Amino acid sequence: MTSPQRPLTVDDLLPHGPLGRLGGRVFVHETLDSTNAFLLGRAADAGDGAVAGAEYQTAGRGRLGRRWEAPRGAAILLSVLLHEAADSPVLTHGALLGAVAACEAIEAATDCSPGVRWPNDIMLNRRKLGGVLAESCTHADGRAVVIGVGLNCLQQRGHFKGELADKATSLECESHQPVDRAALAAGLLARLDDWLASSAQEPRDWAALRAAWRARCEDVGTRVTLEHDGHVFTGTALDISDTGDVIVELDQGGRRHFAAATTTRVW
């Protein structure tokens, strides 16, 4: 990692104060088990729009129970808490929302132009730069959705070992400019807030978000290998459905939808 930058502060995350929905409360910690776990634990009292950030996570969570790890101060580790109705589409669209907002923030703050990979990867030059984890819980007043984003910022190439050596990257590895974590984190929250506002009018319309995600999607038309229910499926990804499933033309014949919650992607 290049020399660590100073820890991010509340002012870094929200330089102009609270946003439209996000940032009423902001929790910035040096160390947390997981920013997602923290907000899920505070779902009832932290308030809609609460933000949690950390410099280091001791039990960072990835999709399907995996770990998400980054050296202290090297990544952006942010989560937002949304109080939502029980049938809210935010949970199924949370990964799309986080990924599109992250891509837009990266484009605004760096010379990099990232893409997305189903179901929740943020990609740069065919390597994974970051990921999004949307989780939900019920609390006394209803349902809460937490969207957490992890972005590799300052790791150097040699940091990624073993199978990650060819598969993971950071902005430091890919950008020709110094990486400003503060600008990136503030941009990420601002873009999340904008997307939440634009989909807030009734009837809630997520078509624009899905279109933005599809426009960045590196999967459509490419070969994919997926594991579902103990079976491996290969085929060509055709599209993403309106509920966020990947639609695959299978080598064995036929088309099939695969849901993110029950499908593992074989790289």
Reduce the DSSP state of residue 40 to 3 states and report it.
Answer: helix
If you count them, how many residues does the chain have? 267
List Cβ neighbours of 96 (8 Å cut-off, separation of 6 or more): 116, 206, 209, 210, 213, 244
Spell out, one character per residue from 136 to 165, where the chain touches ligand BTN: x when CB under 6 A holds, - when not: ------------xxx---------------
Which listed residue (133, 173, 196, 226) binds ligand BTN by CB under 6 A? 133
Q: In whole angstroms, how close is the CB of 193 to ligand BTN at the nearest point?
A: 17
Q: Which is nearer to ligand BTN, 17 or 65 (CB)?
A: 65
List Cβ neighbours of 16 (8 Å cut-off, separation of 6 or more): none
Residue 63 and residue 81: Cα distance in Å, rounded? Answer: 18
Q: In whole angstroms, how close is the CB of 148 to ligand BTN at the nearest point?
A: 3
35 in contact with ligand BTN (CB under 6 A): yes
Q: In whole angstroms, how close is the CB of 70 to ligand BTN at the nearest point?
A: 8
Q: Which stretch in 23-31, 57-65, 180-188, 218-226 sits in contact with ligand BTN by CB under 6 A? A: 57-65
Q: In whole angstroms, how close is the CB of 122 to ligand BTN at the nearest point?
A: 8
Residue 200 and residue 177: Cα distance in Å, rounded? Answer: 36
Report how far apart, in Å, the C-alpha atoms of 153 and of each of 17, 95, 165, 211, 262 are: 24, 19, 16, 27, 29
Place of tokens 């990867």: 121
Q: Which stretch in 22-30, 127-135, 163-171, 178-186 sits in contact with ligand BTN by CB under 6 A? A: 127-135
HEC letters along 96-165? HHHHHHHHHHHHHHCCCCCEEECCCEEEECCEEEEEEEEEEEEECCEEEEEEEEEEECCCCHHHCCHHHH
79 in contact with ligand BTN (CB under 6 A): yes
120 in contact with ligand BTN (CB under 6 A): yes
Reduce the DSSP state of residue 56 to 3 states and report it.
Answer: strand
Other beta carbons less than 10 A from residue 122's beta carbon: 24
Q: In whole angstroms, how close is the CB of 133 to ligand BTN at the nearest point?
A: 4
Q: In whole angstroms, how close is the CB of 98 to ligand BTN at the nearest point?
A: 8
**Crossing angle (nearest 10°) for helices 90-109 and 181-198:** 140
66 in contact with ligand BTN (CB under 6 A): yes
Which listed residue (57, 136, 169, 263) binds ligand BTN by CB under 6 A? 57
Which listed residue (131, 187, 235, 244) binds ligand BTN by CB under 6 A? 131
Residue numbers of the site for ligand BTN (CB under 6 A)? Answer: 34-36, 57, 60-63, 66, 68, 77, 79, 120, 131-133, 148-150
